[in-house]
Amino acid sequence: MGYQNLPFREDSVFLVTGGAGFIGSNICERLLSMGHTVRCLDDLSTGKRENVDMFADNPSYTFIKGDITDIETCKAACEGVDFVLNQAAWGSVPRSIEMPVYYERVNIGGTLNMMEAAKTQGVKRFVYASSSSVYGDSAELPKREGREGDLLSPYALTKRVCEEYGKLYFKLYGLETYGLRYFNVFGKRQDPEGVYAAVIPKFIKQLLRGETPVIYGDGKQSRDFTYVENVVEANLKACLAPKEAAGQSFNIAYGGRESLVDIYRSISKALGIDGVEPTFEPTRKGDIRHSNADIAKAREMLGYEPEYDFDKGLELAINWYKENL
Ligand SMILES: NC(=O)c1ccc[n+]([C@@H]2O[C@H](COP(=O)([O-])OP(=O)(O)OC[C@H]3O[C@@H](n4cnc5c(N)ncnc54)[C@H](O)[C@@H]3O)[C@@H](O)[C@H]2O)c1
């Protein structure tokens, strides 16, 4: 695979915040496989030690249990770091509607602390997780950078504010920031448990355990489901992108569109389960109807080229859950 040849200096040091979470742990794994030094900063609030335990014996890996809402922790973690890949945040649109103050503190306050720490410690690049939720109520498809609508949740607001800080930190202080708007990521180690779990791992878990999955709305709502390895790739490409792309945000997705009913059927079929019908419940607040990304900007400016289409990603994810649930 091409990524082994990416032109990073061998002694590059990466800090992955939220590294014990779903996406963060996949980033850590890839970087370690490339032989780089990786620091993982995570407070284990939604992440899990078991997501990173397998790296513990690797001398290039350090785990820091810490909270990004504490600026001193952020500064200490950034010391000697070349690239920050900031993934730490609280996810879930519905949960953010229940606890907006908490989201403000962690997602905005924490990311601002990390940018400030990166600036103070002379970090080369700051790549951070944004979200497709910044498109809000815009019905335009595909979603294009610069064509955002009104926001629908506190979660989306936190991501938009982080993007504004990203722009400012580049303009004012020269910190090279790159915002990556992930679209419905899925893959190994995504948490299938709890009311706020994402739909793909939840369906897989429920079908494997003989439970009846719930679909909110009519199931015809659609998303650009993106396999996690594509997101890892985007993070690496952003670290190497030309400086002209700094201070901006980019759609990171595959560029396809699947409805919930379609993915339910695909998962049932792949698991060889027949005749289990989902239960339908009312649409949840803050949910958007359709989402599908135009990834031309990331392609052009970051050299992002997603390798895994939905079917390939789903096959890999299902195989992983079969072995690990
Ligand atoms: N999964 C998706 O589909 C998706 C879509 C769009 C954006 N994102 C963004 O991608 C990032 C990673 O999401 P994920 O799906 O891997 O979620 P996750 O919950 O698995 O990972 C987030 C990690 O951040 C850690 N964390 C939370 N608060 C922290 C704090 N105050 N200090 C230190 N660590 C903290 C958690 O313990 C967890 O390990 C998040 O910023 C999320 O908003 C995810």
Q: What is the DSSP string of 20-36?
A: TSHHHHHHHHHHHHTT-
The CATH number for 37's domain is: 3.40.50.720
Digitized pLDDT (tens) for each residue of the chain, 325 residues in all: 445 567 899 899 999 999 999 999 999 999 999 999 999 999 999 999 999 999 999 999 999 999 999 999 999 999 999 999 999 999 999 999 999 999 999 999 999 999 999 999 999 999 999 999 999 999 999 999 999 999 999 999 999 999 999 999 999 999 999 999 999 999 999 999 988 899 999 999 999 999 999 999 999 999 999 999 999 999 999 999 999 999 999 999 999 999 999 999 999 999 999 888 999 999 988 788 999 999 999 999 999 999 999 999 999 999 999 999 8
**Residue 206 belongs to some domain of the structure:** no
**Residue 221 belongs to some domain of the structure:** no
Distance 35 CA to ligand 1 centre (A): 24
**Residue 315 belongs to some domain of the structure:** no
**Residue 51 belongs to some domain of the structure:** yes
Would you state the pLDDT for residue 264?
96
Q: Calculate helix-pair angle for 110-120, 154-173, nearest 10 degrees.
A: 20
Pairing of strands 176-182, 125-131: parallel
Would you state the pLDDT for residue 10?
87
Distance 174 CA to ligand 1 centre (A): 26
Whose alpha carbon is nearest atom 12 of ligand 1? 87
Would you state the pLDDT for residue 5?
62
> Is there a catalytic annotation at residue 155?
yes
**Residue 58 belongs to some domain of the structure:** yes
| 62: containing domain | 11-183+228-254+294-307
Residue (of 174, 62, 181) closest to 126 by Cα position: 174
**Residue 200 belongs to some domain of the structure:** no
- Rounded distance, CA 118 to CA 84, Å? 7
Would you state the pLDDT for residue 288?
85
Would you state the pLDDT for residue 91?
95
Would you state the pLDDT for residue 2?
47
Whose alpha carbon is nearest atom 28 of ligand 1? 89
Helix (H, G, I), strand (E, B) or coil at 305: coil
Pocket, ligand 1, Cβ cutoff 6 A: 17-18, 20-24, 42-47, 67-69, 87-91, 106, 110, 129, 131, 182, 184-185, 198
* Ligand 1 atom closest to 20 (CA): 39
* Ligand 1 atom closest to 191 (CA): 20
For ligand 1, mutation pick of 15, 16, 22, 287 (most atoms within 8 Å of CB): 22
**Residue 277 belongs to some domain of the structure:** no
Whose alpha carbon is nearest atom 2 of ligand 1? 185
* Ligand 1 atom closest to 44 (CA): 37
Would you state the pLDDT for residue 4?
55
For ligand 1, mutation pick of 70, 131, 180 (most atoms within 8 Å of CB): 131
**Residue 171 belongs to some domain of the structure:** yes
The number of domains in the chain is 1
User: Residues 172, 121: contact at Cβ < 8 Å?
Assistant: no
- Torsion over CA: 181, 296, 139, 186 (sign): negative
